Amino acid sequence: MRFHSLPESKRYAEDESEYAIVLERYNTVLDELFAGMDVYVITPLWTTEPDVPAHQSDGGHWQSLLVEDDPDQEFRTYCHLFVSRRPWQHGCIDETLRDIADDKLAGVLVTDTQMRRIHHPYDGGADVLLPRSGTDA
């Protein structure tokens, strides 16, 4: 399911009142998905190096993936994933959400600890992935 961050599918906030709308919409959906639960916040970092770089997130390194396996090492691409676990609280990742809304950060996932509910915020909105109907949620 897709949610838009601003009325009329406007992509970027232009002032603080619009940022307030963006954050409220993100948090409303996140509250519905994760109230009373712990969540993982997964943040990717893309590089051309296989070594895990230092990362400024509050999460630890989870895993690294070789995304583009080119025979020429110079053209290989790696995605290093960092994860933090926290109890969900309204507003607890607002700084991250604002960076996403400004397209300063991309590819972040917020998920329950069983990875059955996934919230993928992006600049302009968020996609939510849920288990199929008839399965445990």
Cα distance between residue 82 and residue 44, in whole Å: 6
pTM of the entire predicted model: 0.87
Tens digits of per-residue pLDDT, 52-82?
888 666 689 999 999 988 788 788 899 999 9
Question: Which structural domain range is residue 35 located in?
Answer: 2-129
Tens digits of per-residue pLDDT, 2-21?
898 888 888 888 999 999 99
Residue 96 lies in a domain: yes
Residue 136 lies in a domain: no
Cα distance between residue 81 and residue 53, in whole Å: 11
Backbone angles phi, psi at 119, to 5 degrees: -115, 120
Residue 134 lies in a domain: no
Tens digits of per-residue pLDDT, 29-52?
999 999 999 999 999 999 988 888
**How is residue 117 annotated by DSSP?**
S
Contact 53, 45 (CB under 8 A): yes
Cα distance between residue 21 and residue 13, in whole Å: 9
Alpha helices in the chain (DSSP H): 16-34, 94-101
